[in-house]
């Protein structure tokens, strides 16, 4: 059976992986959300724990602003001479002329250093590798029209200065959008791995090799060596891979993919996720084995009463750190202040399962809040509570539409609930939607369901972009007190229409 279960479910795209001894470390793109660059740790490659984020303070990311699908693109993590390094791109820096950023630490759980910017390297998807003389080389997808394609240059990791002019490496196999380069020194070869074909259904991973960094790079005869394009496979958009040698000397690759559902063209809702495949080296080239790793079921449920002084690393803000608009309350709970600085006062977490239930409780004596599921700032379904009434609203592009209101008795704190439930199966065995999103309020044990709404409008195929769904609580006006948020997967079963 081929791999169809992600090692990281939910929007954890563009995985990059490294190993130290028997422990593996994986980072992902975070785009407009802060803290940025989540870091997962594993000792078996199939079960992973979120231990922190690399970008956790303002001094590390001066220009952000929360534009949808902007922010942090495709970081690479490597370990060299006792130090962990992450190189990444903040695309909001590009108009300012700042290149990729480089941070380091001795402990991947953090804290990580303030960034060094690499002047003269304008582009996305950077990689870092050290040669036999211990010189660091940065490779990236250039956005400089005078130096197009995949560029590489040696750098000073202390200052970020290029030590030689950038040179063009292999430009791919001929598919669209060659990007996501990773450069490896393996045996007597330099291997250059690329993502090609765009990050949609044509996505693929290709590879080439050369004896020296001066090239020429020779393409693998079986490119693309990883892709699901034009296949009837439950995982699509596979690509953007990173190779890793295991502690036992065998090899694997982490890569992104999506799990589309519903009628053609299929709709993926939780974003691009991280998957794992085995790698065999045959005649000096990587060959994928999708049957090697069995990913066990994972219970991703949680209940957070916000009782401590520090937020769990799952919690995100849009273009700002949650600490800039939240404050823990004595005895538990979290104060969210809509007027604390610029930007949305939204604390959110990734949706990670195909069907799930999330609920929230907050008080609204001094403001108005909303519990919502969103894919960006224009596409969301939510429940707004102002202390006396709960209103269910759907936002699709420029349209916001109320689908019901329910009065709340004085002195009662309602439970707001959002569920992703299976879509009905038609007689010919197909569901039109990827899922349905049910909005409900529970008051003193009585449930009021406002309806179950088409999940396609909260999918990447409809909204565009590079992220996935998140859910959370936003202060719209004044201050609200968040008491708790619960999340749990639910049984996947569908009704027959």
Return the structure tokens found at 44: 């078996």
CA distances from 130 to 83, 99, 114, 192 (A): 13, 19, 21, 14
DSSP secondary structure letters along 61-126: -S--TT-TT-SEEEEEEEEETTEEEEEEEEGGGGGGT---EEEEESSTTSPPPPPEE-TT--EEEE
Sheet architecture: strand order including 136-142? 123-130, 136-142, 149-155, 167-168
Which residue among 5, 14, 376, 386 is the active-site one? 14
Q: Residue 375 in 3-state DSSP?
A: strand
How far apart CA 381 and CA 450 sit, in angstroms, is: 11
Alpha-carbon gap, residue 465 to 450, rounded angstroms: 29
Q: Are 21 and 252 in contact (CB under 8 A)?
A: no
Distances (CA, A) of 287 to 17, 253, 302, 458: 18, 10, 38, 36
From the list 349, 333, 326, 303, the residue with the least C-alpha distance to 481 is 333
Are 78 and 85 in contact, with CB atoms under 8 Å apart?
A: yes
Catalytic residue among 5, 179, 290, 481: 179
In whole angstroms, what is the distance from residue 270 CA to residue 371 CA?
A: 18
Say which residues have a Cβ less than 8 Å from residue 145's Cβ, sequence separation at least 6: none
Look at residues 351, 180, 357, 380 and name the one whose alpha carbon lies nearest to residue 271: 351
For residue 463, give the H/E element and its range.
Answer: helix 460-463
**Active site (annotated) includes residue 179:** yes
Helix (H) or strand (E) holding 241: strand 236-245
CB-side exposure of 483: number of CA atoms within 13 Å?
10
Task: Tokens for 66, please give them.
Answer: 């929360």
3-class state of residue 453 by DSSP: strand
Q: If you count them, how many residues does the chain have?
A: 497
* 444 flagged as catalytic: no
- The catalytic residues are 14, 179
């Amino acid at each position: 059976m081929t791999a169809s279960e992600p090692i990281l479910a939910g929007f954890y795209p563009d995985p990059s992986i490294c190993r130290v001894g028997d422990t593996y470390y994986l980072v992902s793109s975070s785009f407009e959300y802060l803290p940025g660059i989540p870091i997962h740790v594993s000792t078996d490659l199939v079960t992973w724990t979120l231990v922190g984020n690399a970008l956790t303070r303002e001094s590390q990311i001066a220009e952000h602003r929360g534009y949808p699908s902007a922010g942090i693109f495709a970081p690479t993590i490597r370990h060299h001479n006792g130090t962990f390094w992450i190189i990444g791109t903040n695309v909001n820096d590009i108009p300012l002329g700042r290149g990729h950023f480089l941070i380091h630490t001795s402990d991947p759980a953090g804290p990580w250093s303030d960034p060094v910017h690499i002047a003269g390297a304008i582009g996305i998807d950077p990689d870092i590798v050290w040669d036999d003389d211990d010189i660091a080389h940065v490779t990236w997808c250039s956005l400089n029209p005078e130096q197009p394609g995949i560029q590489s240059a040696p750098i000073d990791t202390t200052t970020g200065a290029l030590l030689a002019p950038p040179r063009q490496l292999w430009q791919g196999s001929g598919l669209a959008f060659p990007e996501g380069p990773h450069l490896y020194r393996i045996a007597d070869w330099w291997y250059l791995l690329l993502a090609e074909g765009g990050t949609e259904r044509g996505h693929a991973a290709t590879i080439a090799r050369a004896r020296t960094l001066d090239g020429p790079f020779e393409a693998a005869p079986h490119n693309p060596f990883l892709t699901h394009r034009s296949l009837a496979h439950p995982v699509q958009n596979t690509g953007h891979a990173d190779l890793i040698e295991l502690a036992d000397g065998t090899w694997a690759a982490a890569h992104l993919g999506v799990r589309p559902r519903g009628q053609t063209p299929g709709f993926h809702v939780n974003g691009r996720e991280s998957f794992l495949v085995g790698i065999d080296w045959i005649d000096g080239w990587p060959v994928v084995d999708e049957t090697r790793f069995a990913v066990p079921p994972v219970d991703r449920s949680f209940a957070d009463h916000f009782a401590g002084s520090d937020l769990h690393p799952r919690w995100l803000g849009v273009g700002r750190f949650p600490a800039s608009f939240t404050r823990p309350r004595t005895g538990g709970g979290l104060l969210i202040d809509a007027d604390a600085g610029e930007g949305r006062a939204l604390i959110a977490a990734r949706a990670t399962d195909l069907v799930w239930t999330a609920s929230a409780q907050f008080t609204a004596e001094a403001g108005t809040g909303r519990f919502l599921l969103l894919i960006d700032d224009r596409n969301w379904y939510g429940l707004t509570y102002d202390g006396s009434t709960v209103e269910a609203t759907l936002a699709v592009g420029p349209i916001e539409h109320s689908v019901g209101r329910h009065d709340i008795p004085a002195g009662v704190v309602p439970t707001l609930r959002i569920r992703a439930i299976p879509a009905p199966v038609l007689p010919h065995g197909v569901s039109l939607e990827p899922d349905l999103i049910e909005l409900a309020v529970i008051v003193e044990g009585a449930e009021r369901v406002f309806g179950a709404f088409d999940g396609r409008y909260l999918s990447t195929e409809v909204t565009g972009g590079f992220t996935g769904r998140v859910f959370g609580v936003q202060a719209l006006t004044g201050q609200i007190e968040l008491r708790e948020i619960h999340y749990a997967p639910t049984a996947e079963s569908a009704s027959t229409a």
